[in-house]
Amino acid sequence: MKEEKKLDAIIGILERETFHFNLPSVSQISKEYRGAFFVLISCILSLRTKDKTTQDASRRLFALAKTPSQILRLTKRQIEKAIYPVGFYHTKAKRIKDICKVLTGQFSSAVPDTLEGLLRLKGVGRKTANLVMTEGFGKLGICVDTHVHRITNRLGFCRTKTPEKTEMCLRNRLPKRHWIEYNKLLVTWGQNVCKPVSPLCSVCAIRKYCPRRGVVKHR
Note the pLDDT of residue 23.
92
Query: What's the CATH fold of domain 35-137?
Result: Endonuclease III; domain 1 (1.10.340)
Note the pLDDT of residue 217.
87
Task: Tell me the CA distances in angstroms from 197 to 51, 71, 140, 218, one per residue in order.
Answer: 19, 39, 31, 8
Tens-digit pLDDT profile for residues 175-185: 999 999 999 99
Whether the predicted pLDDT of 36 surpasses 80: yes
Note the pLDDT of residue 1.
62
Note the pLDDT of residue 34.
87
* Domain locations along the chain: 3-22+141-209, 35-137
Whether the predicted pLDDT of 3 surpasses 80: yes
Query: What's the CATH fold of domain 3-22+141-209?
Result: Endonuclease Iii, domain 2 (1.10.1670)
pTM for the full model? 0.93
Choose among 159, 189, 144: nearest CA to 19. Answer: 189
Q: What are phi and psi of 34, to 5 degrees?
A: 55, 80
pLDDT band at 2 (very low <50, low <70, confident <90, very high): confident
Q: In CATH terms, are 3-22+141-209 and 35-137 the same topology? A: no
Tens-digit pLDDT profile for residues 129-176: 999 999 999 999 999 999 999 999 999 999 999 999 999 999 999 999
Q: What are phi and psi of 214, to 5 degrees?
A: 85, -5
Choose among 170, 194, 169, 193: nearest CA to 180. Answer: 170
Tens-digit pLDDT profile for residues 54-103: 999 999 999 999 999 999 999 999 999 999 999 999 999 999 999 999 99
